[in-house]
Amino acid sequence: MMFSKDSKSTSTSPVANGATDGRTTHGGVPSIISADLKIVGDLKSNGDIQVDGTVEGDIDSRLLTVGERATVKGSVVAETVRVSGNVVGQIKASAVVLAKTAKVTGDITHESLTMEAGAFFEGGVRRLESGSIGSGGKVSPFRTPQNGSISDSSMSGSVSKSL
């Protein structure tokens, strides 16, 4: 019986025996912050996080998806960041995608940046050398341009910032 008080725990589940359940690996199930949920505090995951609600704090994950009605107020570090909603804070990622509904206020440090027409972005842009983002979304130290210029051949859309 599954819910018997007398039963002893003799689970043969790989998760119960110490193996991972695949949720923190590529292609696993994302952790979801639903539209009616507000989190105040930092989030850290080796897997994917999807924010449809509000997060006030820093986020560190492999993949971060910010939904169309979502708001993130804090720094983001990830391998890939997809923004359809609002982000107020710094983004550091190998790949950053700003959908046409995105509104980002803060600096973006990236290897690849894609902006759809209609996306709002206010802040600075820095391109990292390929491979500068380590495992778990960690960003390696990088060199700041000497002249303060902004240059990115992979960016579509337009960004203006006076330095």
What are the average pLDDT values for consecutive 10-residue runs of the chain, which has 163 residues? 44 37 56 96 96 98 97 98 98 98 98 97 91 52 37 39 36
pTM, two decimal places: 0.67
Q: What is the largest CA-CA distance in the chain?
A: 72
Structural domains in the chain (count): 1
- The whole-angstrom separation of Cα 6 and Cα 161 is 68
Could you tell me which residues are beta bridge partners of residue 95? Answer: 80, 112
What is the predicted pLDDT for the residue at 132? 58
Q: What is the pLDDT of residue 129?
A: 79
| Strands 54-56 and 59-66, sheet pairing | unpaired
**Residue 54 lies in domain:** 31-129
* Residue 107 maps to a domain: yes
Is 142 within the bounds of a domain?
Answer: no
Q: Which residue bears the tokens 């990236």? A: 110
Tokens representing 129 are 């050398």
Query: Residues for the chain: how many in total?
Result: 163
**Would you say residue 52 lies in a domain?**
yes
Residue 69 lies in a domain: yes
Whether 117 is covered by a domain: the verdict is yes
CA distance 163 to 144: 13
| Residue 36 structure tokens | 């009616």
Asked whether the beta carbons of 128 and 142 are under 8 A apart, the reply is: yes
